[in-house]
């Protein structure tokens, strides 16, 4: 257990679910999750940092790669990311080893972050002229020697070269969808890009997880959107949805995830449950079955 007050409080949140003693299954290989949705304001970064923290609190070793020039994931994890800090930019453009930029996250044991700095804003243009520009992040991750159970890549809200690098490096795509008007708007293009990357650059890539965010059970709209998303994506949608929560919104301004900011809140418990569900359903046999389903079951 973490000895800091925040760490102890977060551990209490895990125990509040009554399941901490069971732990979670460790994946046989590192699961590399690409968190993507080019629509802004859907809870993408919030989902990245809180799922990562939830899994770390359950004993997993987790790395968050902040690929968004705004650096919001780095901020929420309390990791230094001012202009002089070695960052993902140096990894992509200067071929710096990932191990030289990764920082431990304060207060959550087993959680690490490769931060983004504002330099990353120019990386899209600088990558264009570089050799193997689509696979530079994959190479860096492959060369990273520290054992990890999960890597979460927080993508920018666009479908440019940074997001393509994430998709080439990843195995699974996790799409947060907010329970509001036009929830599915623009998703067609994202799914098309996933298909393109799978066809040309990374045959392992697939959409494994859809998470409903900003769910307000008091409104008919939220349940209608949830039904629509479940009807569209089926088994990929987690049963757990994330409620609209002031606590979730406040946490990043204190350099924290909601897990450490307010461990007993509904938002914290929802992310813990979503992480648990994701870990349990992500076992290798299910991933293979998923591939067979989507490849037409050719044998």
Query: What pLDDT does 15 receive?
Result: 61
Mean pLDDT of 47-67: 96
Question: Could you read off the pLDDT of 278-294 as tens digits, one per residue?
Answer: 999 866 544 444 444 44
The pTM assigned to this predicted structure is 0.88
CA distances from 293 to 27, 216, 235, 238 (A): 21, 33, 11, 18
Residue 198 has pLDDT above 60, yes or no: yes
Query: What pLDDT does 8 receive?
Result: 61
Q: What's the CA gap between 142 and 145, in Å, rounded?
A: 8
Domains defined for the chain, CATH in brackets:
5-12+27-282 (3.40.50.300)
Q: What's the CA gap between 202 and 194, in Å, rounded?
A: 9
Rounded mean pLDDT of the chain?
Answer: 87
**Tokens 């079951």 identify what position?**
297
Mean pLDDT of 86-96: 96
Residue 141 tokens, joined: 């991750």
- Cβ pair 8, 1 in contact under 8 A: yes
Q: Which residues, 6+ apart, have CB-to-CB distance to 106 below 8 Å?
A: 4, 78, 79, 255
Residue 25 has pLDDT above 90, yes or no: no
With bands split at pLDDT 50, 70 and 90, how would you rate the model's confidence at 13? low
């Amino acid at each position: 257990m973490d000895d800091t007050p925040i760490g102890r409080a977060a551990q209490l949140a895990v125990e509040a679910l009554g399941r901490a003693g069971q732990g979670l299954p460790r994946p046989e290989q590192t699961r590399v999750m690409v968190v993507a949705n080019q629509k802004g304001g859907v809870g993408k970064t919030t989902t990245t940092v809180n799922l990562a923290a939830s899994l770390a609190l359950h004993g997993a070793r987790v790395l968050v790669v902040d690929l968004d020039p705004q650096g919001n994931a780095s901020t929420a994890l309390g990791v230094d990311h001012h202009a002089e800090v070695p960052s993902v930019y140096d990894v992509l453009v200067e071929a710096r080893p990932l191990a030289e930029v990764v920082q431990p996250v304060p207060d959550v044991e087993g959680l690490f972050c490769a931060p983004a700095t504002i330099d990353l804003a120019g990386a899209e243009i600088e990558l264009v002229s570089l050799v193997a520009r689509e696979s530079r992040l994959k190479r860096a991750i492959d060369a990273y020697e520290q054992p990890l159970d999960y890597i979460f890549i927080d993508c920018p809200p666009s479908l440019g070269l940074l997001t393509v690098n994430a998709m080439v490096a990843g195995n699974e795509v996790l799409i947060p969808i907010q329970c509001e008007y036009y929830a599915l708007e623009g998703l067609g293009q994202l799914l098309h890009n996933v298909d393109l990357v799978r066809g040309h650059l990374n045959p392992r890539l697939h959409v494994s997880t859809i998470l409903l965010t900003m769910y307000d059970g008091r409104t008919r709209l939220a349940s209608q959107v949830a039904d629509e998303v479940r009807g569209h994506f089926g088994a990929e949608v987690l049963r757990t949805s994330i409620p609209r929560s002031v606590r979730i919104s406040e946490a990043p301004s204190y350099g924290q995830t909601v897990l450490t900011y307010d461990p007993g809140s509904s938002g914290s418990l929802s992310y813990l449950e979503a992480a648990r569900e994701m870990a349990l359903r992500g076992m290798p046999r299910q991933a293979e079955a998923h591939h067979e389903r989507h490849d037409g079951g050719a044998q």
